[in-house]
Homo-oligomer: A and B are copies of this chain.
Amino acid sequence: MTMAGLLSALPDMEPRRYLYDLVPVYPRRGGKGLRCGLTIATCGAFGGTPRLALNSAIAIELFHNAFLVHDDVEDGSLTRRGLPTLAAEHGLAVAVNVGDAMNVLSIEPLMRNLELLGPEVTWDVMAEIQHMVRQSTEGQATELGWVRDNVLDLEDADYLRMTLKKTCWYTCIHPCRIGAVIASRGAIDPDRFNRFGYFMGAAFQIQDDVLNLVADERRYGKEIGGDIQEGKRTMMLIHLYRHASPRERDRLRRFLATARERRTDRDVRWVRALMDRYGSLDHARQSARSLAAAALDEFHAAYADAPPSRDRRFIEQIVHYMIERDL
């Protein structure tokens, strides 16, 4: 429903070839719909109708897709959801600008909230989105900086702080907050969702990174091992660097200091094998499971006063799915 709403909300006008034909490219490729699902279901769990949350869910989903467009430019990624990235297909310049357009277009549904939700709730949602986007750019800045400067002396706590900013706010925390703010017309303090969304988002991100290393490429839609090739600071890479021998550390550091296009498949396979040897994937999987279990506890706290409903069960199932998906 949200995806149809999203696509129908997009402009069908000139300039098509270099802009509005490209804006729906990533949304049309599908995706899990996790963010819009959480927004609408949380609204429902607290007594709101889906229609009340639809504009906001569309905005979050469109922002997410804009973020992916720029993320693919920044990471130099070649595929997304099983097809070439916008940058790979249409060039870096056009892709950066399409991402900018998607960001500004994501504000339009929020402006349509005015009639539906009245000025106060509309404004509250706008402030939520503002915070959400800022947190994402802050997390992204940290991750990109680590790669650029080959920062390797990192702890799980650094990783989790970065992930809170880059992923958790926009993937979990704000969708829940916004759904509840809309349903309760501002009566529910949205801070109650922060811990739940943090644990859930971190579990989600770690699993996503694990899947990048182990999943079937056609199902996953990105290059398998692409994260190693990119030098992405995953929990696995951080674990590996912490546990590797001095010689291995040296080689790892040199591999990551090499210009990306000159990193060989052989080296990528070496890093991947080393992760197995030191149990880096098991460490990450175990962390994801613990976080998902903590998310389940927090779910019961945050949704304690939401009566049993399909929406409430849906959210609980998402947490279970987090623990189980493909691990």
Interface residue ranges, A against B (CB under 8 Å)? 14-15, 17-19, 70, 73-75, 90-94, 96-101, 103-105, 107-108, 111, 114, 119, 123, 126-127, 130, 133-134, 137-138, 140-142, 144-145, 147-148
Contact = CB atoms under 8 A, between A and B. Distances in A.
B104 A18 contact: no
Given A70-B100, A74-B93, A103-B103, 5 more contacts: A19-B141, A93-B147, A97-B137, A97-B140, A104-B134
A114 B126 CA distance: 12
Contacts of A15: 138, 141-142, 145
Contacts of A145: 15, 17-18, 94
Nearest to A132: B104
Contacts of A130: 104, 107-108, 111
16 contacts: A14-B138, A15-B142, A18-B145, A18-B148, A19-B141, A73-B92, A74-B97, A93-B144, A94-B148, A97-B144, A98-B141, A100-B133, A101-B134, A101-B138, A104-B130, A104-B133
Number of copies: 2
Q: Which applies to chain A's interface (DSSP): helix, strand, loop or mixed?
A: helix
Nearest to A131: B104
A100 B142 CA distance: 14
A126 B111 contact: yes
Contacts of A144: 18, 93-94, 97
A232 to B, nearest CB: 12
Nearest to A107: B130
Contact of A137 (B100, B142, B147): B100
Contacts of A70: 96-97, 100
B74 A92 contact: yes
Contact of A74 (B96, B101, B107, B134): B96
Contacts of A93: 73-75, 144, 147-148
